Structure 1
Amino acid sequence: MIETHYDAEAAVRLGRDVLAHEADAILAAAKRLGDTPDFALAVKAVLGCRGRLVVSGVGKSGHIGRKLAATFASTGTPAFFVHAGEAAHGDLGMITSDDIVLGISYSGETQELLMIVPILKREGATLIAMTGNPNSTLAKHADLHINCHVEREACPLNLAPTSSTTVTLALGDALAVACLSAKGFSKEDFARSHPGGALGRRLLIHVRDIMRQGAAVPRVTADIRLLDAIREITAKHIGMTAVVDADDHVIGIFTEGDLRRLIEKVGDVRNLVMRDVMTPNPHTIGPDELAASAVKALEAHQCNQLLVVDADGKLLGALHMHDLMDAKVI
C-alpha cells in the first residue's frame, strides 16, 4: 500500500499548478492553430460531409472521443463514436465512404487505429487525425492532421495523460464550434437536440402545452355576485377567476389579492357584483407564445396568473406561475 502524506496547502498549490499548466497548453495550441491549413480544411470537410462524423480512439483518447462525438451530434453534425478495437472486429461495417473518421491518438502510433487505416483508405472515407506528433504514422496517413502537441503533461511524473487530453478536447470543441457557426446553428436548433434540458424546455414548450383548459379554468360573468365568484376561485385552485361576456370573451379578472384589498377597503362585500370589482382589460397571452414569454410577462406585470386568449380575445385557458415551475421552464 502506498503511504500517503496529505498536506492541504500542497494539494491546493499543486491543483493550481495543474490548471495553469493545462491553460498554458491550450493557449499554445491556439497560437499555432493557423500554422497549417489543416484545421480550416477539417472544418470545410465536416461541413461538406454527406455521411456522418465517426470519432474513434482507444483509452483516454477514446474517452475524449466519446465526448467530442456527443458535442458534434448536439450541435448539428451527425456523429457517433466507434472504439478502434471494436472497429477491427466488425464495427467497421458502420463506416461508409461518405463518412469522415476523426481518429484520436496522442502518440499517433496506436495499433488499433493504425490497423483500420488501410480499410478506411480502401473504403474511401476521409481520415482526420488528432495527434501530438505530426510525423507519426497516423498523421502521415491521414488526409488532414490537427496537432495536439504539448510540451509536457501536467502530471508531475509526466506520464498520466492530462494536458494532452485537455488540449485534444479543446481542439475538438473548437472544430465543433467552428462547424456550428458556419452552419448558422441557432438556439432553437440546439433545443431540438436537447428537449429534456433547461434550454429545450425554455425554447420548445409553448403556452398551450402547459396551460389549464376547459373546466379547470375559473370563469364567471360580470353580473354574478362576488360571493359566487369566490366559490369559483376556491374550486379551481388558481387564485383568480376570469370575467367573460356571453360569448366567452375576456372582459376582466379578479384575484385573491383583489379580494383582500377589497375587504380592507369596504369590509362587507356580500352585495357586490363582479362588474363593480373586477380589473378590466387584464394581461393576457396567446396559446402559441413560448412558455418563456409567459415568464417574462408575469415578471413584467408582477402577477402570478395570466389568461390565455385567442386572437379575438376569447378565453382559451389560464396559466399560473406554478404551472411554469412544474414544467421546469423556471
Structure 2
Amino acid sequence: MIGAPVLEISDLTVDYGLGEQAVRAVRSVDLTLHRGEVLGLAGESGSGKSTLAYAMLRLLPPPGVIRSGTVTYHPGAGAPVDVLTLSPAALRRLRWAEVSIVFQGAMNSLNPVHTVAMQLCDVLAAHRPGTTGAGRRRRARELLDLVGISADRLDAYPHQLSGGMRQRVMIAMALALEPRVVVLDEPTTALDVVVQRQILAQLRALRADVGFSVLFITHDLSLLVEFADRIAIMYGGRIVETAPAADLYRDSLHPYSTGLLSSFPALRGPRRERVGIPGSPPDLRNMPTGCTFHPRCPRAFDPCAVSVPELAVPADDAGPGRTVACWLHAERVRRGALS
C-alpha cells in the first residue's frame, strides 16, 4: 500500500563543468517517491535520468556539480534529513542501509576475482561489523534465495554465472541491509526479454514481501507500464509529465509521452501503427528556447517556442495525480483563448 513520502527531490539542478562551459543536465526537478511505491522514470538516453539518480545520492563523478536543490529523506523513525547536506560519515550510514542502488550495467559490476559469497559478505561486514562470519554467510544464502538463485552458487565466481544471475546477485546485494528505498538504474537493459520478465516478476514479489519503495529508471516505457504505480517522463533535463501508470498508458497528455508510447507495439488490444519521434534529443549545450520539445513536437503552436511551460496540474480534467508541462494543457493559454 502506498503511503507517505519517503524521498522528496525539490528544485534539483545539476551541471557538468564550471563557468560558461558548464552543461546543465538536470533543470529544477521536483519529484516525490512514496512509501511502498514503484515510481518509474522514463525518457530517451541523455534526458538526465541517471544524472538525477546519482545526484540525489551524491554519487556524481567529476565534473558533475549539484547547483541547487534539496533531497529530503524521511526515515522510519526520527526527523527528515537533507541528503545533500549530510556529512561523509552520515552519508555512508544512509547508503545501502536506507537507500541502495543497482547501477546501470550492474551485471558487469561484480568483482571477477571474488566469489559471490565474499562480495555479499563484504557488504554485511562493512555495515554490520558486529555480525559473525557464519551469520553473514547465512544472510548471503537467504539473499540468493530471495532473488531465486540456488545457495550452491554462493562459492561461484561471476564468470560462472549467466548475465541474468549476475544481475540478480547485484539486486540481492542492494537488498542486503533491507533498505527502505531501492534505485534501479536500467537494471534489465542488457538482458534478453525472457530474463527481463523473470527479474521484474522477482522484483514485484520482493516488493510485496519486503515493502521497499523503488525508483525504476529506464528508457523502455513498456516495462514501466507493467511494473510501476506511477510514471514520470523526463526530457531535456526536466520532468514533463507525471501520472499513474495506467492513466499515462491510456491517455498521455504530453506529446513526448505519446511519442514514447507509440514507439513500441501493444501486446494487447487492437493493432496500432508504431510511430517514432522525429529528430534527436536536444543538445544540452545549445537548448531550444521555450519548450525544449517543440522542435520535434507535431502539435507545437505559438507559445511553445517562446515560453517554458511549468509542470502543473492540467487545466482540463485529466484525473487525479497528474501533472504536465505543456502549453496544450496550460490554464494560462486557455484563459487567453477565452478572453
Higher relative contact order (CA 8 A, sep 6+): 2
Instruction: Name the structure with the higher helix share.
Output: 1
Q: TM class, shorter-chain normalised?
A: under 0.3
Using the size of structure 2 for normalisation, the TM-score is 0.20
Using the size of structure 1 for normalisation, the TM-score is 0.20
Greater radius of gyration (CA): 1
